[in-house]
Amino acid sequence: MLLHFSVENYRSIRDTQNLLLTASQRIKPEDRRGAVFPIPGTQEQEAALPAVALYGSNASGKSNILEALVLMRFLIAKSHAERRPVSPLPQQPFLLDHDSPAQPTRLECTFTLSHAKELISNGTSTKEVQPVYTYGFKHTKKEICEEWLYQEGAEAEQDSRLLFRRTTLNQEITLEVGDQLSGENENIRKLTRPNSLFLSAAAQNNHSQLLGIYEYFSGMILVKNPESFRESLIADLVDNCRDKGKLKDILKQADFGINDVTVKEIELSETQIEMMRKMSSISSERSAFEDETTSSSPMHMKALGFMHSATDGEPRTLPYHLESRGTQVFLTLLLLALEALSEGSFLVIDELDTSLHPDLSRALLSLFGRKTSNPYGAQFLFSTHDVTLLDSDVLQQDEIWFTEKDSDGASRLTPLTDFKLPPPDQLKHGDIEQAYRLGRFGGVPSSREFLVELDTDQGEEEK
């Protein structure tokens, strides 16, 4: 599970910004309404949060926080296997000052692996702990400048243990390896290019100790715009859904009038095939958020059917394009959520509230906040403008963060728990939403002044 993510010098983010996905000590256990996931053996008895929401005005940096995590995942998954030796790295530094454009971007995560366990002994007793890792790197367009992986100490008196630290200087890569990391490290170092990560190269060469860390990042589910999902891709998600019974039940509860979803393959005409080829060539530049799943054969396409009850009581099947946009988006998000829940994966959605009713957003979030529906510790990170979630039972105060730009145009990230709030038993429903709308936490546009200026200009024109 992801415990901490930090980013520096990326797009609107100039200074290091830290996103914590661990439960705050400021919230008493009796005041917490949702589940948390304890990390056995951590020094502070930390617990991971199942969800975190980012709020902020347009262009405040919400999407850039998410895109930074996507960039990290992309470089881990692709930098060695799919990039040429001379390919530039996708760096986008902060551009609104003199120094930042020439500095590297820095990305770092602290996380656990669900399958990893370790026994430690203090001489009198033995206990099982879950190792906590910190992995990060710095990069420019030209090269990976630094890269590091540590295992955090399970006991207060234990220091972090180095697994590896890589540096690149004048296109030469040096690698420092800790005692805990075995394997063909030197041979993999020789295969690592200046523009590829050692972790990426290690995974491509089946390094047994590092493969699990690589798979953790590559298994993240990252989506920028669920409205852009093609019907055939959604059909793939339906086909691959491990719990079709739960999918069917939730769709019924969502009150769309849908009783079931079916998938069938249809044969494409030559005209349709040619059109798809042209569209594919036009969209050769993939978004960092775009799902990489390929579906259907070149000659066939999967199509969705939605079972409804007609007025005569007989079932009727409607095609995908006749369903509302809200239905299409909810189905996509539900399928992604069910996939994450079944794998214990990390799900990232930019703009959760797009074409979605607030009640449906709450329903999706509730799946992550209950251990009965989230037994493997899946996590959900998303941005939203849906202020109704601020006072809902599905988001705790330490699961709410705000982005805002300072006077230099640099984004800042602040948790709700940094603000002084009344005790939970004194908060009324709507208090946090009202405070946010009034700008007490930042992150809201100053539209009132903008509208006043428009009214003033209009009045002057009428004189």
* Residue at 461 is within a domain: no
Of 180, 144, 150, the closest CA to residue 162 belongs to 150
Q: CB of 157 within 8 A of CB of 138?
A: no
* Residue at 437 is within a domain: yes
**3-class DSSP state for residue 4?**
strand
List C-alpha distances in Å: 423 to 25, 414, 426: 14, 20, 5
Residues 215, 79 share a domain: yes
* Residue at 460 is within a domain: no
> How many Cβ atoms sit within 10 Å of the Cβ of residue 141?
14
Residues 270, 373 share a domain: no
Q: Could you report the per-residue pLDDT of 344-362, keeping only the tens digit for each? A: 999 999 999 877 899 999 9
**Is it the case that residue 453 has pLDDT exceeding 50?**
yes
**Is it the case that residue 339 has pLDDT exceeding 60?**
yes
Of 441 and 405, the structure prediction assigns the larger pLDDT to 405
Residues 357, 305 share a domain: no
Q: Could you report the per-residue pLDDT of 366-399, keeping only the tens digit for each? A: 999 999 999 999 999 999 999 999 988 899 999 9
Residues 270, 215 share a domain: no
Q: Could you report the per-residue pLDDT of 129-155, keeping only the tens digit for each? A: 889 999 999 999 999 999 999 998 765
pLDDT of 286: 38
Q: Could you report the per-residue pLDDT of 204-234, keeping only the tens digit for each? A: 999 999 999 999 999 999 998 888 899 999 9
**Is it the case that residue 443 has pLDDT exceeding 80?**
no
Residues 412, 434 share a domain: yes
Q: Could you report the per-residue pLDDT of 38-55, keeping only the tens digit for each? A: 988 776 679 999 999 999
Q: Report DSSP state, residue 247.
A: H
Mean pLDDT for 231-238 is: 94
Confidence class for position 241, pLDDT limits 50, 70, 90: very high
Mean pLDDT for 180-192 is: 97
Single out the residue in 342, 374, 392 at which a domain terminates.
342
**Is it the case that residue 194 has pLDDT exceeding 60?**
yes
Q: Could you report the per-residue pLDDT of 300-333, keeping only the tens digit for each? A: 789 999 999 998 888 999 999 999 999 999 999 9
pLDDT of 445: 66
Q: CB of 329 within 8 A of CB of 350?
A: no
- What lies within 8 Å, CB to CB, of 129 at 6+ separation is 40, 41, 42, 117, 118, 119, 120, 154
pLDDT of 441: 86
* Residue at 462 is within a domain: no
**Is it the case that residue 157 has pLDDT exceeding 60?**
no
Residues 361, 245 share a domain: no
Single out the residue in 342, 370, 389 at which a domain terminates.
342
Residues 1, 103 share a domain: yes
**3-class DSSP state for residue 86?**
coil
Q: Where in the sequence is the domain holding 269, given as residue range(s)?
A: 229-342
pLDDT of 455: 57
Q: CB of 141 within 8 A of CB of 89?
A: yes
Residues 185, 115 share a domain: yes
List C-alpha distances in Å: 95 to 12, 91, 101: 8, 12, 6
Strands (E), 293-394: 300-309, 315-319, 346-349, 379-383
Residues 14, 110 share a domain: yes
Q: Could you report the per-residue pLDDT of 21-40, keeping only the tens digit for each? A: 999 998 888 888 889 999 88
Looking at the 3D structure of the chain, how many domains does it have? 2
Does the pTM of the predicted model rise above 0.75?
A: yes
CATH of residue 141: 3.40.50
Q: The tokens of 39 are what?
A: 């990390």
Amino acid occupying residue 218: S
Single out the residue in 290, 307, 342 at which a domain terminates.
342
User: Could you give the CA distance from residue 355 to residue 76 in angstroms, rounded to a whole number?
Assistant: 32
pLDDT of 136: 99
* Residue at 186 is within a domain: yes
Residues 293, 191 share a domain: no
